């Protein structure tokens, strides 16, 4: 027998408990998933993930900067920090713990969604429907079942929590809640950039339930969100500081952007496609290419624009009749804006995870519409309407859970991910390239080569496939073929860093080594991409290793240290260059910096200091190819 207080709690929060249980049931099978795709770069091969719990690493660099020299264009320190905490708790070889964290965050999100909808609508039935639909929707597989989807999970959770606390404050007047709301918004911003739209929803949320004659003046409502505005401004300043600090890092886009006009006209088409993902649930599709439209006469543009305009008109119609519907619709469209490909970003242009945060508003609207239909039916036919609605909701939850389970396993590992993309989109070259990489990891060389060649058949100028094929061939000892593939990659894209590095390595491991050719490959790369720090440090490292052009090596490295003072490898290589030039004190200074700042490179730096102390490396040691 449960204690009376617990019975009362369960009765008062039955919809919340149901949403939590259903969310766990829908995504429990994701706990057996492995690391996939970006997970490996962020976690498995990231040497800094456990360095001081990652605080300095994640907050001081842009997201996906896994080696101090390569960077993305995102600033998302909070997800990275949680990865470090997971790694500390579970180890980087136990993906279960990382997936468990994702599931916990998602379950908390379902709970907060129920609380928010219940608070805004005053209707527990609407809250239950919103929470249950959100908890089982198959479109969430990518965000929940893929560890790297945590950015969306955290941002969605803290955006909702910020609004919920703000509404509580507006109802109770307890100032602590307002400041906690601002803190939650800060955490959302540190999770994903889309949270900058949070100010708009906070401005509106505080008076959604109040009648027009009792609403506060707009100027008063602006004062309410001063802490949130300050937090947002602070975040933008911090983000810009990190971006400026990383200005010299490689941030080349993965795809060539279409003309702006074509992307703009493609936006309504993409909106309709995202809505279809929500309205017609199906098992996870990991690949979407954003639509572009070349002409306003295109039927897709005309039809989609008409549909979007009608939806906006309907939302405006609800503005006074049901402000919560209007507010939820605004949430959907505003948070979807960054995912419409209007502004081309490096990397993925369209994905199911990008509709995760917008789906919060969609779930609220669906719940309110569903309960409204039930009430209309109940007024006409009585209790049978309730029975029918209950059966329909149960059938929907069960069927969507089954689809979600299938989608979760798509993200089980790289192999299943790329296989599913190829099954759905056999013409996509990068999917064959990805499957080839998955085969290569499994040491299935013949299958890997076959997939890379298929990728090149579909897209002959695919530099990444040339590079991956070259690496497999090199591992098989087929150096001449590997050299051809690296050279083909450079012909296809003269700005691709890995091709120059790979070509240099092929020359170095040849028998006998072709040192001059290896140096020339890196020099060609540095000439083609002069601002690329990876090539610069590789070239300098080779100069130092071969004890040639040491003055040039020092010049390159001093520029790197000046432009990226926190980059660790340039300090180490610069110390070696100084040592070989007999500049012992300057060398010692660089090695001591490495010892103080780099856990990964500390042993090597200590070894170099020992060599200095032994006096075995003094004087200028040859100029070689100079």
Statement to judge: residues 15 and 34 lie in one domain: yes
pLDDT of 251 above 50: no
Residue pair 617/591 in contact (Cβ under 8 Å)? The answer is no
Q: Which of 478, 512, 530 is the endpoint of a domain? A: 530
* 220/609: higher pLDDT: 609
Position 253 in a domain: no
- 305-357 tens-digit pLDDT: 999 999 999 999 988 888 899 999 999 999 999 888 887 665 557 889 999 99
pLDDT band at residue 624 under the 50/70/90 scheme = very low
Position 72 in a domain: yes
Statement to judge: residues 321 and 443 lie in one domain: no
For the CA atoms of the chain, what is the radius of gyration? 28
- 274-305 tens-digit pLDDT: 999 999 887 777 888 888 899 999 999 999 99
Q: How many CA atoms lie within 13 A of 220 on its CB side?
A: 7
- 58-97 tens-digit pLDDT: 887 777 764 444 446 788 999 999 999 999 899 888 999 9
pLDDT band at residue 621 under the 50/70/90 scheme = very low
Report the CATH number that the domain containing residue 566 is assigned in CATH.
1.25.40.10
pLDDT of 252 above 60: no
Residue 517 CA, chain-centre distance (Å), reads 38
Statement to judge: residues 488 and 559 lie in one domain: no
pLDDT band at residue 375 under the 50/70/90 scheme = confident
Statement to judge: residues 80 and 102 lie in one domain: yes
Name the burial class of residue 257, with classes exposed (0-12), middle (13-18) and buried (19+) by CB atoms within 10 angstroms of its CB: middle
Statement to judge: residues 206 and 123 lie in one domain: yes
Residue pair 27/406 in contact (Cβ under 8 Å)? The answer is no
Statement to judge: residues 304 and 360 lie in one domain: yes
Residue pair 497/486 in contact (Cβ under 8 Å)? The answer is no
Statement to judge: residues 324 and 175 lie in one domain: yes
Q: How many CA atoms lie within 13 A of 95 on its CB side?
A: 20
pLDDT band at residue 623 under the 50/70/90 scheme = very low
pLDDT number for residue 136: 96
Statement to judge: residues 11 and 91 lie in one domain: yes
Statement to judge: residues 301 and 205 lie in one domain: yes
Position 419 in a domain: no
* 210/306: higher pLDDT: 306
Across 55-64, 111-120, 366-375, the highest mean pLDDT is recorded for: 111-120
The parent domain of residue 309 ranges over 4-246+258-409
pLDDT band at residue 563 under the 50/70/90 scheme = confident
- 489-499 tens-digit pLDDT: 999 988 888 99
Position 421 in a domain: no
Residue pair 371/385 in contact (Cβ under 8 Å)? The answer is no
Statement to judge: residues 134 and 25 lie in one domain: yes
pLDDT number for residue 285: 77
Q: Which of 383, 409, 435 is the endpoint of a domain? A: 409
Position 591 in a domain: yes
pLDDT number for residue 622: 41
Residue of 307, 317, 302 whose CA lies nearest to 274: 307
Statement to judge: residues 239 and 343 lie in one domain: yes
């Amino acid at each position: 027998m449960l204690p009376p207080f617990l019975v009362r709690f369960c009765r008062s929060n039955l919809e919340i408990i149901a949403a939590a249980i259903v969310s766990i049931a829908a995504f429990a099978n994701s706990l057996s998933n492995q690391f996939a795709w970006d997970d490996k770069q962020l976690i498995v091969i990231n040497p800094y993930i456990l360095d001081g719990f990652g605080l300095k690493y994640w907050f001081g660099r842009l997201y996906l900067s896994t080696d101090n020299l390569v960077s993305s264009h995102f600033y998302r320190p909070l997800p990275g920090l949680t990865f470090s905490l997971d790694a500390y708790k579970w180890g980087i070889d136990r993906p279960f713990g990382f997936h468990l964290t994702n599931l916990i965050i998602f379950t908390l999100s379902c709970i907060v969604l129920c609380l928010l909808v219940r608070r805004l609508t005053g209707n527990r039935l609407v809250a239950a429907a919103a929470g249950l639909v959100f908890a089982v929707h198959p479109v969430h597989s990518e965000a929940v079942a893929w560890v790297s989807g945590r950015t969306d999970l955290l941002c969605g959770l803290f955006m909702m929590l910020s609004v919920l606390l703000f509404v509580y404050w507006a109802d109770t007047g307890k100032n602590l809640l307002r400041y906690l709301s601002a803190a939650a918004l800060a955490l959302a911003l540190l999770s994903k950039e889309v949270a900058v739209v949070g100010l708009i929803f906070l401005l509106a949320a505080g008076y959604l339930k109040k009648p027009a004659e009792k609403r506060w003046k707009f100027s008063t409502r602006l004062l309410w969100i001063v802490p949130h505005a300050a937090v947002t401004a602070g975040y933008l300043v911090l983000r810009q500081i990190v971006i400026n600090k990383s200005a010299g890092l490689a941030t080349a886009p993965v795809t060539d952007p279409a003309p702006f006009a074509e992307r703009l006209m493609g936006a309504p088409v993409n909106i309709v496609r995202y809505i279809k993902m929500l309205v017609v649930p199906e098992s996870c599709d990991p690949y979407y290419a954003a639509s572009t439209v070349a002409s306003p006469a295109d039927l897709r543009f005309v039809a989609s624009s008409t549909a979007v305009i009608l939806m906006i008109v309907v939302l405006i119609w609800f503005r006074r009749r049901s402000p919560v519907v209007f507010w939820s619709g605004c949430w959907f469209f505003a948070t979807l804006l960054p995912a419409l490909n209007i502004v081309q970003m490096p990397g993925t242009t369209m994905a199911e995870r990008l509709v995760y945060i917008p789906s919060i508003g969609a779930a609220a609207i669906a719940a309110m519409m569903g309960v409204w239909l039930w009430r209309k039916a109940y007024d006409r036919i009585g209790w049978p309407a309730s029975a029918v609605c209950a059966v329909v909701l149960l059938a929907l939850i069960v069927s969507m859970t089954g689809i979600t389970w299938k989608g979760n396993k798509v993200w089980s590992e790289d192999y299943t991910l790329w296989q599913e993309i190829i099954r759905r989109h056999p013409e996509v070259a990068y999917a064959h390239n990805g499957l080839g990489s998955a085969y290569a990891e499994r040491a299935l060389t013949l299958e890997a080569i076959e997939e890379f060649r298929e990728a090149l058949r579909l897209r002959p100028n695919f530099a990444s496939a040339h590079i991956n094929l070259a690496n497999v061939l090199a591992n098989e000892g087929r150096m001449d073929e590997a050299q051809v593939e690296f050279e083909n990659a450079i012909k296809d894209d003269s700005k691709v860093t890995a091709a120059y590095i790979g070509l240099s390595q092929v020359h170095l491991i040849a028998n006998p080594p072709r040192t001059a050719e290896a140096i020339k490959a890196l020099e060609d790369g540095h000439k083609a991409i002069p601002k690329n720090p990876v090539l610069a440090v590789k070239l300098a490292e080779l100069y130092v290793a071969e004890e040639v052009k040491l003055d040039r090596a020092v010049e390159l490295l001093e520029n790197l240290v000046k432009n990226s003072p926190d980059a660790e490898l340039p300090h180490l290589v610069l110390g070696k260059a100084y040592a070989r030039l007999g500049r012992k004190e300057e060398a010692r200074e660089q090695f001591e910096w490495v010892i103080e700042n780099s856990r990964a490179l500390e042993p090597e730096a200590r070894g170099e200091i020992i060599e200095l102390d032994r006096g075995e490396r003094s004087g200028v040691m040859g100029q070689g190819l100079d």
